[in-house]
Amino acid sequence: MTDWNRDDTFLARWLSDELNAEELKAFEQSSDFSHYQRIRETLSNAKSLEFDTEAELRRLKENRRSAQPRVRKLSSLARWSIAASIFLVSSLGLLYLWQKEMGKPVVAYTEAVNKTKVELPGGSVVKLNSSSSLAYSKEEWSSERSLDLSGEAYFEVEKGNTFTVHTEAGTVAVLGTRFNVKLRKGVLDVLCYHGKVQVVSETVVQELTEGMGIRIAEGRSRSLIVESKEPSWVSGIISLQDVPLSEALDELERQFDCTVIGNHADFNGIYNGDFPTDDFEAAVALVLGAFEKELEYTVDNEKREITLKPLR
């Protein structure tokens, strides 16, 4: 299966509808797909940004005719790479303009493995986990402490007017508190470490106090227990409570920028445990060792690949 993060042609082939069924299915199940899909829709709807390619090409040819440059045919890889680059630059620009039009330009983004800390106006702090993004309006912050989150973040909020975190699955509103919000594949986890938060989705309205948490998935909710003073990932430990093995594998890929070979959906089971973010081999052993009766695995440290095989 193609690892789209490492394939320079992937985004261009996706835009041209040239992915095979397996590649498309894997991409659609990735945590990043919704971002690129929205960007693609924005591009297709951006009437005011239409570009006359043929006219521009003629203009460039006229300007360069006197220079008589050497002509070199581009390989398929080069064409795809250029197309992907144009898409990424255009997408980032459109995403910024779209967010700015909505009043919330993108201010922070983390890729796989990376984490970052964002200091907000007024002293509040946000710590972003891997593969996450944050957006808010600096101009409107003094009157409305509101931001958009995709992925996972830990918030340390100073007292003031209402502080609201918006996600695709629901909102979290607080005054002054410490809490963690995580949205992956439509599953929303909110954990309250201090103070009080209110979680609102289409089907749930729940107030959480210190030590309480909630998971909302497919319109249903369940309680989670918070036993620490801050989320473990801030200190380099990923702690997962009763999640499908596929989610644990996704987290391994995010934290180590590795590739799991084998369809995640083929492996059933629930994972409940911790693993470190600074030791690849130990993390893999802790996650997959819990399923030694259901599957076997091999690890290629150089390629950062984990190959799974069911024991059936």
List the CATH number of the domain containing 190. 2.60.120.1440
Is there a domain that residue 1 lies in? no
**Domain boundary pick from 214, 232, 250:** 232
Residues 159 and 127 in one domain: yes
Is there a domain that residue 2 lies in? no
- Count the domains in the chain: 3
Specify the pLDDT at position 105.
67
Residue numbers of the domain that contains 171: 106-232
User: Tokens 């990424």 correspond to what residue?
Assistant: 88
Specify the pLDDT at position 153.
97
Is there a domain that residue 70 lies in? no
Residues 80 and 115 in one domain: no
Q: Which amino acid is at 85?
A: S
For residue 80, what are the contacts with CB-CB under 8 A and spacing of at least 6?
8, 9, 12, 13
Residue 151 vs residues 29, 35, 85, 268, 274: alpha-carbon distances, Å? 15, 11, 24, 24, 19
Specify the pLDDT at position 40.
58
Residue ranges in the chain modelled with pLDDT below 50: 1-2, 42-43, 45-61, 63-82, 84-86, 88-102
Q: For the chain, report the end-to-end CA distance as a whole number of angstroms.
A: 22
Specify the pLDDT at position 139.
84
pTM: 0.65
Residues 90 and 136 in one domain: no
Residues 119 and 194 in one domain: yes
Residues 241 and 304 in one domain: yes
Residues 138 and 96 in one domain: no
For residues 279 and 298, is the Cβ–Cβ distance under 8 A? no
Contacts by residues 79-84 (CB-CB < 8 Å, ≥ 24 positions apart) = 79/12, 80/8, 80/9, 80/12, 80/13, 81/8, 81/9, 81/12, 83/11, 83/12, 83/15, 83/16, 84/8, 84/9, 84/10, 84/11, 84/12
Specify the pLDDT at position 149.
93
Is there a domain that residue 3 lies in? no
Residues 31 and 149 in one domain: no
Of 29, 1, 32, 31, nearest to 11 by C-alpha is: 32
Specify the pLDDT at position 34.
65
Residues 94 and 119 in one domain: no
Q: Which amino acid is at 255?
A: Q
**Domain boundary pick from 205, 232, 259:** 232
